[in-house]
Amino acid sequence: ESCDEKRKVQFESSEPADFRVGEDGVVYAARSFQLSSDPTEFIVYAQDKETQQQWQVVVKLSIEPTFAEHSEKDEKKIEEIVFPRQQSKHSSHLQRQKRDWVIPPINLPENSRGPFPQELVRIRSDRDKSLSLRYSVTGPGADQPPTGIFIINPISGQLSVTKPLDREQIASFHLRAHAVDVNGNQVENPIDIVINVIDMNDNRPEFLHQVWNGTVPEGSKPGTYVMTVTAIDADDPNALNGMLRYRILSQAPSTPSPSMFTINNETGDIITVAAGLDREKVQQYTLIIQATDMEGNPTYGLSNTATAVITVTDVNDSPPEFTFMTFYGEVPENRVDVIVANLTVTDKDQPHTPAWNALYRMTGGDPTGRFTILTDPHSNDGLVTVVKPIDFETNRMFVLTVAAENQVPLAKGIHHPPQSTATVSITVIDVNESPYFVPNPKLIRQEEGLPADNMLTTFTAQDPDRYMQQTALRYSKLSDPANWLKIDPISGQITTIAVLDRESQYVENNMYNATFLASDNGIPPMSGTGTLQIYLLDINDNAPQVHPQEATTCETLQPNATNITATDRDIDPNAGPFAFELPETPPSIKRNWTIIRISGDHAQLSLRIRFLEAGIYDVPIIITDSGNPPKSSTSILKVKVCQCDINGDCTDVDRIVGAGLGTGAIIAILLCIIILLVLVLMFVVWMKRRDKERQAKQLLIDPEDDVRDNILKYDEEGGGEEDQDYDLSQLQQPDTIEPDAIKPVGIRRLDERPIHAEPQYPVRSAAPHPGDIGDFINEGLKAADNDPTAPPYDSLLVFDYEGSGSTAGSLSSLNSSSSGGEQDYDYLNDWGPRFKKLADMYGGGDD
């Protein structure tokens, strides 16, 4: 008690096997044992850690007597807390009060079993002898939440606890004790009381996670850190109740050693203690970790367990190995992007990791880089692929040396075995290749104007297939826009079949292009094309022409100059400069006109006389080029002479133009007239042909009897030709209108009403009862069913009654008196086979 709070004191027991002392001075039984009736004594030593000063005390331990026997003794042994005495006041001057006493805290174990209320201390004032006092306590646990834990007897000042305490909820309580008289006046200054809840080992350690996951690379050396597990204890961490210790209870699997890992018992760090971690053999270890409080005491400490799962990660300790030492493949020549061989390897490392993924590298056999090896991401196979064309005639076989590696280097101390290198033998297959022209394109120079049947050059191709049995190549022409050339199918000799013309529309920049085809008879047949370029040299084969071919000038001398230009389809030196002159004949040309050259390609035409009557004049101009020999031509310049204003513009252009209609316009007008006449003539011929067809049809069928019109024309719908007023009574029963006496005896139409006695139909009353309507209808129905005179008389022929007949007679009878039986029909035999049936029916006599 005399030690300062900052000084640290260490306690020790003289009997550590039976008793131990905590840092807070609480004495515990270190084991379970039976106490004898005699008191047990042992010594507790206390030592200051800084000054090494020591104290000791004798502790006597005896069996606790019953509460009834020693209640009075215990009551006398309860500690008293006395209010400190206040200093008296003298007159009106205030004196300094003596410093309050520091009352030591009250230590109360948690989870006490009682009985409750349990007395703690007695609070007393020295003035209770002269005054009647009342005691009370305030603060959390008394009159503040949680309330009612501590109570005080207001008369005796006895402070008690009412229920067990839990240090993990509240570790200490700070109360204030008060003493007042019966009138409520404060008698003593309040004193502070601190109640510390002494921790008991009532909580097990709890791991932060029930399952801990960690990794460790395979092949790790002993002492390699793996992971850390952590557990917490709700008890006081500064006391033994909250001091945890870790240990490994089990390891699964137990290969290659049952103790591959160890754990730091204080920090929970797991490290390796044995070598031999191999992922290819054991990929995962499961450890059961135990945490125990009381510094790991297995007898008194509380424990809990968790699981630590340690995954052995892969390192590149297994190099890839080829399944065969030699692989074979084949590829047709001139093929690219073709897989010719699959290289298979095995790797014991974890699939689809950098330590398993294979990389293939060619170490020999491909100096020109015609092959590459790609890796299949799924199977890890090496795909040998052709990236450059291979010529069978140059290389028939390749032998490649290939090495397999991983994306990451091998682990330290691991080397590639011989199985990491293999040989790939690739055979090249000969295929029929296309012939090729040499050179391609082929350029020749030739003067234009070369006539037909002249040999130009020989354009031949070569067949790269030297080891195939094939006949000679065949040549043919593929493209010849102007159709000037032909090629010999055997020799490839090219000959002209028309005159070469540099000024042709198919010649561009003096160059003419023709394409030829060379074909072999291989399987399959192949062909190649070659282009012949003919550079045509110009000769002076085109005379110059005047441009434009029409001009306008004034009829007076001033202003009357017209600029003209000479054009030539040839090129230098067969073109300009040009010479311009007027012909000698007719003499009026030179008399009326004059021409002056103003440059190599241009000249100026003007009037020689002062006045020339308005009109259109054809002025011939002789133009000569500079070729060797020169070539000249006479071009007609159509000059329109007109009256001009002061500005030199024509004022009567319309009259001159109308009088001088050009030849092209006249031809166009004539063509339009001819086309119009042809159209009119065709229309007339078509109309006449149509009339003839109509006349021929009328000879065969009378328009009145044409069956095609019967669909639309019904003719008379009444009682005959005499019924023109459309008497609607004809649609009723006709026997009341038309007497039977007018009918011929023995003749009756099928749609006439038969002659029978009139049946008796029921007569409906003027005002029938609604119930009689059904009877009336049924009686009328029966009468109609039994009436032979009721229509229809013949349902197959008559659809409605349309009269009693016609004076024209029946159309279906050919024996009628009005049928023309006396007429001669022999002329039908002269009409041809189409009327043979009618001739037999009418022209055969009585038969």
pLDDT of 218-227, one tens digit each?
889 999 999 9
pLDDT > 90? residue 312? yes
pLDDT > 80? residue 152? yes
Q: What is the pLDDT of residue 282?
A: 93
Of 14-23, 303-312, 809-818, the range with the lowest mean pLDDT is 809-818
Of 252-266, 778-792, 800-814, the range with the lowest mean pLDDT is 800-814
Q: What is the pLDDT of residue 249?
A: 95
> Residues 329-376: pLDDT tens digits?
999 888 889 999 999 999 888 888 898 899 999 999 989 889 999 999
pLDDT > 60? residue 25? yes
pLDDT > 50? residue 735? no
Task: Give the residue, 585 or 681, on which the prediction is more confident.
Answer: 681
Beta-carbon contacts of 96 under 8 Å, excluding residues fewer than 6 positions away, are 87
Q: What 3-state DSSP class applies to 379?
A: coil
Q: Rounded distance, CA 98 to CA 191, Å?
A: 14
The stretch 653-667 carries a mean pLDDT of 60
Q: Rounded distance, CA 3 to CA 238, Å?
A: 20
Q: What is the pLDDT of residue 90?
A: 43
Q: What is the pLDDT of residue 538?
A: 81
Q: Which helix (H) or strand (E) holds 666?
A: helix 663-700
Q: Rounded distance, CA 216 to CA 285, Å?
A: 10
Q: What is the pLDDT of residue 789?
A: 67
| One-letter amino acid for residue 224 of the chain | T
Q: What is the pLDDT of residue 4?
A: 61
Task: Give the residue, 144 or 615, on which the prediction is more confident.
Answer: 144
Task: Give the residue, 1 or 567, on which the prediction is more confident.
Answer: 567
Torsion of CA 734, 739, 741, 743, to 10 degrees: -20
Q: What is the pLDDT of residue 845?
A: 57
Q: What is the pLDDT of residue 293?
A: 93
Binned at pLDDT 50, 70 and 90, residue 624 comes out as confident
Q: Rounded distance, CA 838 to CA 789, Å?
A: 41
Task: Give the residue, 303 or 125, on which the prediction is more confident.
Answer: 303
**Cβ atoms 226, 310 nearer than 8 A:** yes
**Cβ atoms 437, 459 nearer than 8 A:** yes
Burial classification of residue 166, based on how many CB atoms lie within 10 Å of its CB (0-12 exposed, 13-18 middle, 19 or more buried):
middle
pLDDT > 80? residue 476? yes
Of 193-197, 410-414, 595-599, 745-749, the range with the lowest mean pLDDT is 745-749
> Residues 695-731: pLDDT tens digits?
766 555 555 555 544 455 555 555 554 445 555 554 4
Q: What is the pLDDT of residue 705?
A: 53
**Cβ atoms 49, 10 nearer than 8 A:** yes
Q: What is the pLDDT of residue 2?
A: 62
Of 557-566, 581-590, 658-667, 772-781, the range with the lowest mean pLDDT is 658-667
Of 51-55, 133-137, 550-554, 654-658, the range with the lowest mean pLDDT is 654-658
Burial 721-751, CB ≥16 within 10 A → b, else e: eebeeeeeebeeebeeeeeeeeeeeeeebeb
pLDDT > 50? residue 269? yes
Of 299-313, 404-418, 622-636, 652-666, the range with the lowest mean pLDDT is 652-666
Q: What is the pLDDT of residue 553?
A: 81
Q: What is the pLDDT of residue 808?
A: 55
Q: What is the mean pLDDT of the chain?
A: 80
pTM: 0.44
Task: Give the residue, 836 or 256, on which the prediction is more confident.
Answer: 256
φ, ψ for residue 817 (rounded to 5)?
Answer: -65, -20
Q: What is the pLDDT of residue 286?
A: 96
pLDDT > 80? residue 205? yes
> Residues 66-87: pLDDT tens digits?
544 444 444 446 777 777 765 5
